[in-house]
Structure 1
């Protein structure tokens, strides 16, 4: 029988990952060993976390053993969609309406703390409180996490998101160097992790884009450009293109900061505008259009309009 345990074992060994590296902060090595040898059935959350660190989508391999686990998984998926649309307040309220599902284990507690931190950061602008909440959240599964130290263990998408929110909170609270160093540590860890498992997280481009924007604002243009190109490559390689127009905007901002020719800057903005519209990100498209009208008195809608040739 091909079980979750055997999938975890096969993937881990295929990528030459030790049990200690994989299960750090999730469970004991002895527990992972029992799971891999089908001597113990993991909870849904534990199995999802282990599979996620291996770059696998856990829902493809799991059968839900209880109504409670299925309900939490459904809530998790709904929240991901809300966050992708930047509906931070709605995501928080939705989770709080279902708070009875959030206290069963450390993974669910981490999820709850993470959602609280996201609302505090992006909606309430209470950055110091958000930092405290992210520190609480990350230590559920990464008990030895220190923002100034190299990250030496594999991360789940939830852990990546929490560290990113922590960095954003530091940045917006004015602690810019802490924020940049934290994201540099995170990107280094993710590059090492993804080079091992051969799969990028959908959150990786988001982290790279934040870092590139901040480096540009700190006038570290060459570094910013390097992370932009890494981010573009990650988007194209993974087929996850949602962040690609944001990298075009970031590239344009770097070119503008370096006083590059206007046509080079506009080329990036035009690419971003077309992609925003094709992806249905109309708010972002309109913001960019307004910005370019103010900056260059150029209307992207007219620039991008298809030219209609007269019939002959």
Structure 2
């Protein structure tokens, strides 16, 4: 049985996928550094190793990188910050930003990417300040994608999972600002990228359905109801297959809305009723009442 070291695995995976050292290392480390890592002459740090694996479309599940106590502490605090942002707990986000900010003072710029992303999310959630939020998000993405202008997809570039998250956040900011076509263009780029490049189902499960949900919402706003229905259908199929319960009821709701707009009230009633049932089970009473009111105001039927 073959025995792999991390450099061998990186090199063989990269070559099997047909990527150059420049493509994989861009914005993370120099191609020369990647060459030394692949040849076993340089031991990569935790974050660099993690992002190199992500550019190859997978997680660093096979290799443990020995890290210092300081690196482990920073990793734990960043994970806490990500959870706080996901929970939209503004007070905890602010507290955790202060914790992480102190820990990254003497680290590489790469370690600041998640911090800047969190600051952008905080500016949007707390102050509804799209301008400040976009500035932080662009600072975050340009750490590893310095030539990204915020609007034009870089279709020849490989992406890390953090880059996908940040670009999606940028797309959301454009949508909030009424620039829906830019938002759609960015998330369609991410959708196509994840379909063709990302092989790790666990990581794909956390991001891909929300991108499809965003697209379904934005296509609805653009009155492109067939496209809305297509995105919702793809998202529902993926959620059922991989068990993403967070996005599933939202996608079911959007499918019902799209069917209503397309005049298929029989099918629409079925999916809207399913959405209400799921949200009711989740104790999302406000959402349930919102759906009921929407049906009353916009459909020829009540639920």
Instruction: Report the TM-score range of the alignment, normalised by the length of the smaller protein.
Output: 0.7 to 0.9
Q: 2:182 aligns to what?
A: 178
* 1:169 to 2:168 alignment: no
Say if 1:99 and 1:13 are closer, same or farther in 2 by CA, change over 3 A.
same
Q: 1:75 aligns to what?
A: 77
How high is the TM-score relative to the length of structure 2? 0.86
Q: 2:122 aligns to what?
A: 119
CA distance in 2, matches of 1:49, 1:92: 26
CA distance in 2, matches of 1:96, 1:61: 31
Displacement after TM superposition at 1:59 (Å): 6.1
Deviations 1:15-49 (A, max 9, x none): 33332222222112111111112110111111111
Describe the SS at the equivalent of 1:228.
helix
Displacement after TM superposition at 1:198 (Å): 6.2
Q: Give runs of aligned pairs for residues 266-285 of structure 1, distance below 5 A.
A: 266-276=269-279, 281-282=282-283, 285=284
Describe the SS at the equivalent of 1:204.
helix
Confirm or deny: 8 A CA contact 1:145 1:151 kept in the other structure. no
Q: 1:221 aligns to what?
A: 225
Deviations 1:121-147 (A, max 9, x none): 233210111112111110100111132
Confirm or deny: 8 A CA contact 2:171 2:186 kept in the other structure. yes
Deviations 1:151-191 (A, max 9, x none): 32121121111111111111112222222222223323333
Describe the SS at the equivalent of 1:35.
helix
Q: Give runs of aligned pairs for residues 1-312 of structure 1, distance below 5 A.
A: 2-58=4-60, 61-103=63-105, 104-146=107-149, 147-194=151-198, 197=199, 199=201, 201=204, 202-261=206-265, 263-276=266-279, 281-282=282-283, 285-296=284-295
What stretches of structure 1 of length at least 5 have no aligned partner? 298-303, 305-312
Confirm or deny: 8 A CA contact 1:151 1:186 kept in the other structure. no
CA distance in 1, matches of 2:91, 2:187: 25
Say if 1:176 and 1:46 are closer, same or farther in 2 by CA, change over 3 A.
same
Which segment is superposed worse, 13-22 or 163-172? Answer: 13-22
Confirm or deny: 8 A CA contact 1:209 1:247 kept in the other structure. yes
Describe the SS at the equivalent of 2:274.
helix
Deviations 1:34-86 (A, max 9, x none): 11121101111111111222333336632342011101111122223223323
Aligned length: 292
RMSD: 2.5
CA distance in 1, matches of 2:19, 2:233: 28
Describe the SS at the equivalent of 1:27.
coil
CA distance in 1, matches of 2:58, 2:280: 31
How high is the TM-score relative to the length of structure 1? 0.84
Say if 1:59 and 1:158 are closer, same or farther in 2 by CA, change over 3 A.
same
Describe the SS at the equivalent of 1:259.
coil
Displacement after TM superposition at 1:277 (Å): 5.8
Say if 1:29 and 1:239 are closer, same or farther in 2 by CA, change over 3 A.
farther
Displacement after TM superposition at 1:291 (Å): 1.6
